[in-house]
Structure 1
Amino acid sequence: MNALQLTSEHASDFVVITVAGELDLATRPDLAAFTRDVIDARPGTVIIDLAGITFIDACGLSALIAVKRHAREQGTPLLLAGAPPVVLKLLRLTNLDASFTVISRSGAMSPPPGCSEAASPIQAAFPLADR
């Protein structure tokens, strides 16, 4: 069984969606539904923390593309954080690395572009760099 764990942490100007496990054909619908609900709530910037991804295939990559497309349609900035080597390699192999804004987990510690400093206390309570 392919398990995917999805959680979110909200702040006033952004939300961090943490994705852990395998992102593939079996789990694509879970990611799509979860992120659609978050983006449709108009949270400001959406950061998808991929550090917990253990496997991704073409269907998982397709899911990320669909999330990006939906975010763009809603006018929601989307960042990928902490992408592990397996994700980065797939993005490079498919020439999609320039299509996504990928930040390091430590880069996620500062407010996302366009967000106020007021978001910092939530980020301090949700330290991406330490997970």
Structure 2
Amino acid sequence: MRFAMGVYELAFTMRERVAGGTVVMELTGEIDILAEQTLGQRMEAVAARCRGELVLDLRGVTFLDASGVRLLLRVRARAVRCGAGLRVVRGGAMVSKVIRIAGVEPAFAWLEEFPPAAVGSVPA
């Protein structure tokens, strides 16, 4: 959470959309405990109603901590339980390092870039 001009604003966002038949969740900003608490139920709900391919896009993530890793694992678990295929677009070097150090990299199917089939979109 940031404080600017007398107003608190969230340091993260999540946008969901459908692109080429794929449900995409784009995360941006700082994915920490506040993001987990704020976005957790919404992200799990998206994963629960997805019956096809789900892509989690981390390219806009600037910070990730253990709570953020836990959030990613929660979304993965929900997607698996509901029969969705989950792929994750890698974030920057710091995000990748946190995931590697946490030892959860093998839990995800990784994409080095955004899938071409998912270009163009409509809100989910």
TM-score, length of structure 2 as denominator length:
0.81
Q: Is 1:125 paired with 2:120?
A: yes
RMSD: 1.7
Alignment partner, residue 83 of structure 2: 75
**Mapped pair 1:102 → 2:102:** no
1:1-50 alpha-carbon deviations (Å, 9 max, x no partner): 14211111214632111100110111102331221221222241110110
* Structure 2 Cα separation of the partners of residues 92 and 82 of structure 1: 12
Q: Which has the higher contact order (CA 8 A, sep 6+)?
A: 2
Residue in 2 aligned with 1:86? 94
Q: Stretches of 4+ moved more than 3 A in 1?
A: none
1:116 alignment counterpart? none
CA distance in 1, matches of 2:20, 2:45: 17
Give how far 1:103 is off: 0.3
Match for residue 52 of structure 1 among 38, 60, 78: 60
Unpaired segments ≥5 residues, structure 2? 2-9
- Point out where structure 1 has 5 or more consecutive residues left out of the alignment: 110-119, 127-131
Which has the higher mean CA deviation after the structures are superposed, 30-39 or 77-86? 30-39
Q: Is the 8 A contact 2:24 2:56 kept in 1?
A: yes
Structure 1 or 2: more strand by fraction: 2
> Are 1:39 and 2:47 matched, yes or no?
yes
Aligned partners of 1:52, 1:32: CA distance in 2, in Å?
18
C-alpha deviation, 1:88, in angstroms: 1.0
